[in-house]
Amino acid sequence: MIKYLRHFWLAYPFLALKIFIYYWQTDRLDMMNVYEVPVLTVLFLFGLFELCSMGRGKASRWIFYIIYTIVTVLMFADAAYSSYFGKYISVNQIYQITSFGQIAGDGNVIGAAVSPGCLLTLIDYPFVLYFYRLRQKTGEKLSAMSMRKFVPYVLAHGLLLVIMICAWFYYGFNPYNLRSVQKVNHIEFFTYHTNDILVNVVGKIQRGDVDKDAILNTMEEIVPKSSGDDYKGVAEGKNLILIQTESFNDFVIGAEYNGQELTPNLNALLQEDTFYFNHFYSTTGVGNTSDAEFAALNGLYPNDERECYRLYVDNTFQGLPWILRDAGYGAYAFHGYVKTFWNRDEAYKTQGFEHFYSQEELDMTEISGFGLTDKEMFRQAVDILKEKEQPFFSFMITLTNHIPYELDPSLATLELKDSDKGSTFGNYLQTIRYTDEAFGKLIQYLKDAGLYDNTMIVIYGDHQGMNMETPAVKSKMSAFLGREYNFDEMLKVPLIIHIPGLGEAKTIGTVGGEVDIMPTIANLMNVDPGQPFVFGHDLLNADEGFVAQISYIGKGSFIAGDNAMIFGIGKDGTVESGSAWNLLTGQRMNVNVNLCQQYSDRATALIDTCKEVLDYNLIADYVTH
Ligand code: GP9
Ligand code: MN
Q: Domain containing 517 — which CATH number?
A: 3.40.720.10
Mutate which of 103, 283, 289 to test ligand 1's pocket (most atoms within 8 Å of Cβ)?
A: 289
pLDDT at 335: 98
CA of 284, closest atom in ligand 1: 10
Average pLDDT over residues 227-254: 98
Whether 491 and 506 have beta carbons less than 8 Å apart is answered as no
Q: Which of 41-45, 99-103, 346-350 has the lowest mean pLDDT?
A: 99-103
Q: What is the DSSP letter of 532?
A: S
User: Whose atoms come closest to the Cα of 110: which ligand?
Assistant: 1
Residue 106 pLDDT > 50, yes or no? no
User: Whose atoms come closest to the Cα of 288: which ligand?
Assistant: 1
Q: Are residues 127 and 169 in the same domain?
A: yes
The per-residue pLDDT for range 498-543, each reduced to its tens digit, is 999 999 999 999 999 999 999 999 999 999 999 999 999 999 999 9
CA of 462, closest atom in ligand 1: 9
Specify burial of residue 101 (Cβ count, 10 A radius: 0-12, 13-18, 19+).
Answer: exposed
> How many angstroms is it from 539 CA to the middle of ligand 2?
23
User: Whose atoms come closest to the Cα of 397: which ligand?
Assistant: 1
Q: Which contiguous run of DSSP H or E holds residue 582?
A: strand 579-582
Tell me which of 205, 228, 248 is where a domain ends: 205
CA of 370, closest atom in ligand 1: 1
What is the rounded CA–CA span in Å between residue 116 and residue 261? 34
Q: Are residues 261 and 198 in the same domain?
A: no
> How many angstroms is it from 367 CA to the middle of ligand 2?
17
pLDDT at 110: 62
Q: Which of 568, 508, 574 is nearest to 542 (CA)?
A: 508
Q: Which of 251, 261, 283 is nearest to 477 (CA)?
A: 251
Whether 491 and 197 have beta carbons less than 8 Å apart is answered as no
Q: Are residues 19 and 125 in the same domain?
A: yes
> How many angstroms is it from 165 CA to the middle of ligand 1?
42
> How many angstroms is it from 294 CA to the middle of ligand 1?
13
Separation of CA 561 from chain center: 22
Residue 105 pLDDT > 70, yes or no? no
Whether 242 and 456 have beta carbons less than 8 Å apart is answered as no
CA of 335, closest atom in ligand 1: 4
> How many angstroms is it from 129 CA to the middle of ligand 1?
39
Structural domain span for residue 377? 239-541
> How many angstroms is it from 99 CA to the middle of ligand 1?
17
What is the rounded CA–CA span in Å between residue 289 and residue 282? 10
CA of 109, closest atom in ligand 1: 8
Q: Which of 114, 551, 74, 623 is nearest to 307 (CA)?
A: 551
The per-residue pLDDT for range 382-416, each reduced to its tens digit, is 999 999 999 999 999 999 999 999 999 999 999 99
Ligand 1: residue whose CA is nearest its atom 10 = 289
616 inside domain: no
Whether 315 and 294 have beta carbons less than 8 Å apart is answered as no
> How many angstroms is it from 518 CA to the middle of ligand 1?
21
User: Whose atoms come closest to the Cα of 101: which ligand?
Assistant: 1
Residue 554 pLDDT > 70, yes or no? yes
pLDDT at 184: 95
Prediction pTM value = 0.86
Q: Which of 85-89, 210-214, 530-534 has the lowest mean pLDDT?
A: 85-89
> How many angstroms is it from 288 CA to the middle of ligand 2?
6
> How many angstroms is it from 56 CA to the middle of ligand 1?
50
CA of 338, closest atom in ligand 1: 4
596 inside domain: no
Domain count, the chain: 2
Average pLDDT over residues 558-585: 96
Specify burial of residue 375 (Cβ count, 10 A radius: 0-12, 13-18, 19+).
Answer: buried
Instruction: Identify the three-state secondary structure at position 264.
Output: helix
pLDDT at 336: 97
Mutate which of 102, 339, 367, 402 to test ligand 1's pocket (most atoms within 8 Å of Cβ)?
A: 402
What is the rounded CA–CA span in Å between residue 123 and residue 139? 25
Whether 514 and 282 have beta carbons less than 8 Å apart is answered as yes
Specify burial of residue 27 (Cβ count, 10 A radius: 0-12, 13-18, 19+).
Answer: middle
What is the rounded CA–CA span in Å between residue 89 and residue 196? 9
Average pLDDT over residues 35-44: 97
Ligand 1: residue whose CA is nearest its atom 8 = 104
Ligand 1: residue whose CA is nearest its atom 6 = 289
555 inside domain: no
pLDDT at 95: 79
> How many angstroms is it from 397 CA to the middle of ligand 1?
9
191 inside domain: yes
Q: Which of 44-53, 109-118, 185-194, 594-603 has the lowest mean pLDDT?
A: 109-118
Q: Are residues 260 and 192 in the same domain?
A: no
pLDDT at 1: 58
Q: Are residues 179 and 320 in the same domain?
A: no
Average pLDDT over residues 156-181: 94
Q: Are residues 248 and 164 in the same domain?
A: no
User: Whose atoms come closest to the Cα of 96: which ligand?
Assistant: 1
Contacts of 162 (CB under 8 A, 6+ apart): none
Contacts of 587 (CB under 8 A, 6+ apart): 483, 581
Contacts of 128 (CB under 8 A, 6+ apart): 11, 14, 15, 18, 49, 68
User: Whose atoms come closest to the Cα of 464: which ligand?
Assistant: 2
Ligand 1: residue whose CA is nearest its atom 3 = 289
Whether 396 and 455 have beta carbons less than 8 Å apart is answered as no
Tell me the average pLDDT of the chain. 94
Average pLDDT over residues 72-90: 92
Q: Are residues 388 and 437 in the same domain?
A: yes
Q: Are residues 269 and 143 in the same domain?
A: no
Q: Are residues 197 and 340 in the same domain?
A: no
pLDDT at 506: 98
What is the rounded CA–CA span in Å between residue 86 and residue 553? 7
Residues with CB under 6 A from ligand 1: 104-105, 288-289, 337, 341, 397, 399, 402
Q: Are residues 295 and 167 in the same domain?
A: no
> How many angstroms is it from 245 CA to the middle of ligand 2?
8
Q: Which of 590, 571, 572, 573 is nearest to 581 (CA)?
A: 590
516 inside domain: yes
Mutate which of 342, 400, 405, 514 to test ligand 1's pocket (most atoms within 8 Å of Cβ)?
A: 342
User: Whose atoms come closest to the Cα of 371: which ligand?
Assistant: 1
> How many angstroms is it from 209 CA to the middle of ligand 1?
35
Residue 4 pLDDT > 90, yes or no? no
Q: Are residues 268 and 137 in the same domain?
A: no
Specify burial of residue 59 (Cβ count, 10 A radius: 0-12, 13-18, 19+).
Answer: exposed
404 inside domain: yes
pLDDT at 190: 98
Beta bridge pairs of residue 322? none
> How many angstroms is it from 246 CA to the middle of ligand 1?
7
The per-residue pLDDT for range 530-542, each reduced to its tens digit, is 999 999 999 999 9
Tell me which of 483, 506, 541 is where a domain ends: 541
What is the rounded CA–CA span in Å between residue 423 and residue 408? 15
Q: Are residues 410 and 368 in the same domain?
A: yes
User: Whose atoms come closest to the Cα of 309: which ligand?
Assistant: 1
Q: How confident is the model at residue 491 (pLDDT cuts 50, 70, 90)?
A: very high
pLDDT at 344: 96
212 inside domain: no
> How many angstroms is it from 22 CA to the middle of ligand 1?
28
Please state the φ and ψ torsions of residue 330, each to the nearest 5 degrees: -90, 150
Mutate which of 103, 290, 356, 551 to test ligand 1's pocket (most atoms within 8 Å of Cβ)?
A: 290
Q: Annotate 461-479 with DSSP letters as a single string.
A: ESS-SS-TTSHHHHHHHHH
CA of 104, closest atom in ligand 1: 8
Contacts of 145 (CB under 8 A, 6+ apart): 153
Tell me which of 515, 541, 567 is where a domain ends: 541
CA of 246, closest atom in ligand 1: 9
Q: Where are the alpha helices (DSSP H) in 53-143?
A: 58-85, 91-100, 107-113, 125-138
The per-residue pLDDT for range 353-389, each reduced to its tens digit, is 999 999 999 999 999 988 999 999 999 999 999 999 9
pLDDT at 518: 98
pLDDT at 104: 46
537 inside domain: yes
Ligand 1: residue whose CA is nearest its atom 5 = 289
Contacts of 340 (CB under 8 A, 6+ apart): none
Whether 56 and 118 have beta carbons less than 8 Å apart is answered as no
